[in-house]
Amino acid sequence: MQNDLAEVLFTEDEIAARVAEIGRAITRDYACTADEGGIVLISVLRGAAIFMADLARKIELPVEMDYLAVSSYGNGAKSSGVVRILKDLTSEIEGRHVIVAEDILDSGLTLTYLLKNLSSRHPASLEVATLLRKKTPAQAKIDCKYLGFECPDDFIVGYGLDFAERYRNLPCIGILKPEIYQ
């Protein structure tokens, strides 16, 4: 699998260290929520599931985990620009402290839509933890309270991120060789 990468951007150890830092920051920032039931972590399936699973175990507070599925890239490498909820949350988030875990912020279209949708449910607070953010000039302005890494505007795979459902189980994050998706 790793032979299909043009470049490794972040190793397994670098990812683990960064995720642990984000977990510590969240633990510190949300300490006061411990008595109110802690945090609801929401992962956007399927890419962010691995990040959220690792992040949750680095947060030393009560954490509920819930999942949303939205349509985004299909099997291709280009954004369709169309966001649709395919699977909604199981929990009610009204009055809860919510953190949305995302794998990668590219155009920002998906998160812009999701944040609007989630805030209409009146959470006590709503923040974003994204593992990666692409350096894309046209990106929608989104406040990410927690950011793992900035990455180049290439097609990225590994640690949850797929191409046609492959490479999610790659332990590192890297740039997919263009000849594989072109």
Q: Which residue has the tokens 């990410």?
A: 144
Check whether the bond before 133 is cis (ω within 30° of 0).
no
Task: For the CB of residue 103, give the shortest distance to Mg ion in the complex, in Å.
Answer: 4
Question: Which two structure tokens, joined as six digits, stand for 61?
Answer: 């507070």
**x/- binding map, residues 37-56, to Mg ion, per CB under 5 A?**
-------x--x---------
Binder to ligand 5GP among 41, 161, 170, 173 (CB under 6 A)?
161
Which position among 100, 111, 162, 172 is part of the footprint of Mg ion (CB under 5 A)?
162
Q: State the distance between the two ends of the chain, measured CA to CA, in whole angstroms.
A: 17
Is residue 155 at the binding interface for ligand 5GP, with CB under 6 A as the rule? yes
Smallest distance from ligand 5GP to CB 53, Å: 16
Please say whether the beta carbons of 111 and 142 come within 8 A: yes
**Distance of alpha carbon 104 from alpha carbon 77, whole angstroms:** 13
Site residues, ligand 5GP (CB under 6 A): 47, 72-73, 79, 102-110, 155-157, 161-163
